[in-house]
Amino acid sequence: MTEEPARATHVSLAAVFQVRAGGLQTLLWRRAEAPYEGDWALPGGYLAAYETLEASIRRHLTHKVDVGEVAHLEQLTTISEPGRHPAEWQLATAYLGLVASDVDPAVPSDTGWHPVESLPPLAFDHREIVLAARERLRAKLSYTNIGFALAPPEFTLSELRDLYVAALGHEVTATNLQRVLVRRGVLEPTGTRRESGPVGGRPPALFQFKRPELEVTDQFAVLRPPEASS
């Protein structure tokens, strides 16, 4: 008799990002069971019978970590290394998810937001997934309108600049951002202004993204860090 070949299990995972406290943060939950008991991990879990990958990760985000308000979700990669899980042959399909800055999900007590720049110890290969998702986001901020998924419905250019700086990890001027995004037809003024602060001055104009769904705006564009002065 020949031994029946092993069958792989399949999980969906999500690196969910939000700009919080001035930096890019990702949502993690602490594992309560082996393997990697006590370590942090990306939200996700096993696929149910006859369930699509996207339906699976949306279910896990909603039911496990109470994050149903994902402004953007896209498939990042599928990992099939046989040794990525110590106890089983497990395939993992990872997603990039974005939550707008004006949303504050009420996550469970075993779940929290962590700065991507200072991640705690992560289970499995989840650190590599987080970093790959960050690189995908940074690339798409240059050539798509994906910033809509990080921003509230209305914002000033300075507020949008702060979101881009947090996600890109380098400085971007509000003037340059306006020139690039308005020229591409990504942003449009709302016709209203933010109320003046306590020090007075001219109230800043409010803008919005023209289309709150992903589209390529300039496939060759790159938002580079400013050149260092000599």
Q: What is the pLDDT of residue 7?
A: 84
Question: Which tokens in the block code for residue 224?
Answer: 């580079």
Question: Which tokens in the block code for residue 68?
Answer: 């149903």
Percentage of the chain lying above the pLDDT 70 cut: 93
Closest CA to 186 of 151, 226, 139: 151
Q: What is the pLDDT of residues 61-83, one digit of tens each?
A: 998 888 888 999 999 999 999 88
Q: Which CATH number fits domain 143-209: 3.30.450.40, 3.20.20.70, 3.40.50.11060, 1.10.10.10?
A: 1.10.10.10
Give the amino acid at 122. Answer: L
CATH 1.10.10.10 segments of the chain: 143-209
Question: Which tokens in the block code for residue 210?
Answer: 């023209």
Q: Which CATH number fits domain 9-142: 3.30.43.10, 2.40.50.180, 3.20.20.110, 3.90.79.10?
A: 3.90.79.10
| Summary mean pLDDT of the chain | 90
Closest CA to 16 of 124, 108, 121, 130: 130
**Would you say the pTM of this structure is higher than 0.85?**
yes
CATH 3.90.79.10 segments of the chain: 9-142
Q: What is the pLDDT of residue 69?
A: 85
The residue ranking higher by pLDDT, 228 or 8, is 8
Alpha helices in the chain (DSSP H): 53-64, 126-143, 157-168, 174-183
Q: What is the pLDDT of residues 36-62, one digit of tens each?
A: 999 999 999 999 999 999 999 999 999
Rounded Cα distance between 134 and 65, Å, is 20
In which band, very low, low, confident or very high, does the pLDDT at 149 lie, cut at 50, 70 and 90? very high
Q: What is the pLDDT of residues 87-135, one digit of tens each?
A: 899 999 999 999 999 999 889 999 999 999 999 999 999 999 999 999 9
